[in-house]
Amino acid sequence: MPFALYPSLTDTPVVISGGASGIGEAMVRQFAAQGARVGFIDIQAEAGANLAAELTEAGHQVRFVSCDVRDIAAYQAAIAGFAEAHGDALVLVNNAAHDERHDWADVTPDEWDQRMGTNLKHSFFATQAVAPGMIRAGRGSIINLGSISWMILVPRLPLYETAKAATHGLTRSMARELGRHGIRVNTLVPGWVMTERQISEWVDPAAEQLIDQSQALTRRIYPDDVARMTLFLAAEDSAAITAQQFLVDGGWANT
């Protein structure tokens, strides 16, 4: 099945967080296939280095830095390094997150801070890092990854869901702050995506039944489905779209 090519993404500098596996890996591969200059970070050093080496050997413009997004100084330094190599980022995809289950009664203040750092805080400070270059260019696209988990009341995820619900507040506020400079900010909300981690840890027969009952579409959602929407939101094809959230969930959540 043929998919869209976006000429506006050719040679466009792109920064992606959490790009070594799952949805993020699909994004790195798809932006590279569009001819973009991709810089991505991930805490998974070996997986990230292997992906960058594979894509570079295939002739794509891809760079990787191993970084914990909770270390804001290191993350912003990585973004600056990508800018030196590829030019100022014109696309930022705030993808990094971790949906580890937890019991609300056991959460400590330190755990709260750590989980917000993993799932929300880095998105703001990455935006802060790329915005000056986008302002100079008079254009740019920032894509924040949300989640349907808070919309459909998934249990044992209160901190993750709090961060993901807040992500759209960040999107809306920064869309207003940056819109006058031609910079768009949107939220991309995946449904239950069949990543290797999801399949190995949570997708059992009961989960399959729940998906079948809950989605309007009977097909499963895969990382490439999410990545293709990311391409559209990054490309000039969506130049008039900002401050919105887009669900790629097979018709599950009711917003």
Instruction: Give the pLDDT confidence score for residue 200 in this predicted structure.
Output: 85
Contact, 46 vs 21, CB < 8 A?
no
For the segment 67-88, what is each residue's pLDDT rounded down to a tens digit?
A: 999 999 999 999 999 999 999 9
Residue 202 counted as domain residue: no
Instruction: Give the pLDDT confidence score for residue 47 in this predicted structure.
Output: 98
b (16+ CB within 10 A) / e for 119-148: bbbbbbbbbebbbebbbebeebbbbbbbbb
Q: Is the pLDDT of residue 50 over 90?
A: yes
Catalytic residue among 6, 75, 160, 222: 160
- The domain that holds 86 is classified in CATH as 3.40.50.720
3-state secondary structure of 151: coil
Residue 214 counted as domain residue: no
Q: Whose CA is closest to 10, among 167, 236, 175?
A: 236
Residue 165 to residue 16: CA distance in whole angstroms: 20
Q: Is 75 a catalytic residue?
A: no
Residue 41 counted as domain residue: yes
Mean pLDDT taken over the chain: 96
Q: Is 231 left (phi over 0), alpha (psi -120 to 50) or beta?
A: alpha
pLDDT interval class at 255 (50, 70, 90): low
Residue 207 counted as domain residue: no
For the segment 109-155, what is each residue's pLDDT rounded down to a tens digit?
A: 999 999 999 999 999 999 999 999 999 999 999 999 999 999 999 99
Instruction: Give the pLDDT confidence score for residue 254 in this predicted structure.
Output: 81
Residue 208 counted as domain residue: no
Residue 182: which domain range? 7-193+223-241
The model's pTM? 0.97
The total of structural domains in the chain comes to 1
